[in-house]
Amino acid sequence: MDLRSAAHDLRSDLVAWRRHLHAHPELSYQEEATAAFVRERLEGLGLRASAPLAGGTGLTCLIEGQADGPTVALRADLDALPIQEANDVPYASTVPGVGHMCGHDAHTTMLLGAAALLVRQRPARGHVKLLFQPAEEGGAGAARMIEDGALDEPSVSAIFALHVYPGVEVGHLTVSPGQATAAADAFDIEVIGRGGHAAHPHQAIDAVAVAAHVVTALQLVVSRQTDPLLPLVLTIGKIEGGYARNVIAPSVRLAGTARSLDPALRERLPAMLEHVVGGVTQAFGASYTLAYQLGYPSTRNDPALLPTLEATVAELLGEGRLSRKPPSMGGEDFAFYAERVPGLIARLGVRNEARGLVHPLHHPRFDLDEDALPLGAAVLAGFAQRYLHSA
């Protein structure tokens, strides 16, 4: 069977599935209707999905080969983001404040397409396990899936996934050998001053002014306290504090994220932040609290799986359609799978400048060229078949 032609024949179904999911997004661990939709499509292919996993909205499905052998897993994520979609399209989100602005609707669709292809041409040897995972957007759904045995019975030997990427034109893929994404941690700081009247600042400790110095000082952690050859991003994404323009705020809350690639640097970051925040607040007579939460680890792509992807893309899309790129500082809970078994995640191009499909992930106007859907389904299925053939 010619996988690319067979996938192209599925295009109308894939578009319909993706548009349905796009119009009915659900947040992390709330993907009941999405999971039910996936289950119905799998049953329509003659497949049986597992009992609910990962809090009730995750599921797996095993496609058995013609003979026993290793098991390769393919993963898609189900959840949407708390973002109001700004696109004026017939399939726009019908849920206020929730939208598939990271392409998980496409991931789910492409994995369903891969299932349809693999059912038509089951592997000669070995099995393919499909993982439909909830809560990638901050909920660590991958870790919950692992806890519930998603990589067991049968034991998974390797795992592969695609993530749509609007920075690359349709028909192309990119991959990062070795480290692919950053460790993504979170921190919350409260700067505690003493409130007062705006006309009498000397009688108060202005938490807003102190917090401004804290934000500035934290940038020096990146530029002056760490090796410039070790990527690090510190971002304060949210500031809250104060009551009125003529009131000196007694406290200010800062919420931020730390993105790093080096494990040793990541281990030192909490103490570095404590040192800076403590020093700045003490200098102005304020105090503070700081809570640092370890999030997703850095995703490591197994170099041993790269030849399988390279051969798959060359066969299905043509030579020169896969390029190697530096890692992203974004976080991805695929990292939890890759810590347990050899893993590989690649970026699938969905950009189409002629149609204005250029907005980045997590943007209110993000959308994708649906011509990428059959290509992604074919690459997923082709990777699984090639891996099992050579394993």
- Residue 79 is among the residues annotated as catalytic for this protein: yes
Q: Check: CB of residue 34 under 8 Å from CB of residue 59.
A: no
Please name the amino acid found at residue 174.
T
Name the residue with tokens 């020093």.
279
Q: Of 183, 132, 123, which is closest to residue 161 (Cα–Cα)?
A: 132
Q: Token pair of 32, please? A: 């009941």
Catalytic residue among 31, 77, 85, 136: 136
Catalytic residue among 26, 31, 77, 79: 79
- Residue 185 is among the residues annotated as catalytic for this protein: no
Q: Looking at the annotation, which residues are catalytic? A: 79, 136
